[in-house]
Amino acid sequence: MALSILPIRTALATPESLATALRETFGDIEIRRGRVKLDIALIAEDGTIVPTTITVDSPMTEADHVKEIHLFAERNPLPRVAAFYLGPHNGRAQVSTRIRLAEAQRVIVIARMSDGSLWSDEMQVEVSLTACGG
């Protein structure tokens, strides 16, 4: 009796699934570049644990603060990676986390401000050792 083992690859997201996730999260609101800084390595040695820091330029006052920060990875099995909910009580609009990246891809962060505006930043990240079943 012969036994063959085949690697199982997880389906990766596509630019279309990313567009769908963005539309489901933000509707048709214009997403502008600026106010947000994504700090992530351009080359990730290990896609299973990629340090990521997001900073948003905001005074974090009652009148002007960050309400939400959303992180997306274009080619992960699920493009929505994380969501953070903030308010003026946070004092500083900065979050740090570690994410998994299935392969080289565009990582996008979008912040929703208290006035409803959306601001973004993105980086193309190369991955040496893939994650997410890659």
Buried b (16+ CB within 10 A) or exposed e, 95-115: beeebbbbbbbebbbbbbbbe
- Cα radius of gyration rounded to whole Å, the chain: 17
pLDDT of residue 94: 97
The listed CATH number (3.40.50.620, 1.10.1380.10, 2.60.40.2470, 3.40.50.1860) that belongs to domain 15-23+30-129: 2.60.40.2470
pLDDT of residue 17: 87
- When pLDDT is cut at 50, 70 and 90, the band that residue 9 belongs to is very low
pLDDT of residue 15: 75
Q: What's the mean pLDDT when you consider all of the chain?
A: 89
Rounded to an integer, the average pLDDT of 72-79 is 92
- Residue 93 Cα distances to 35, 77, 84, 105, 119, angstroms: 11, 28, 10, 25, 13
In this predicted model, what pLDDT tens digit does every residue of 15-32 receive, in sequence order? Answer: 788 999 999 999 999 999
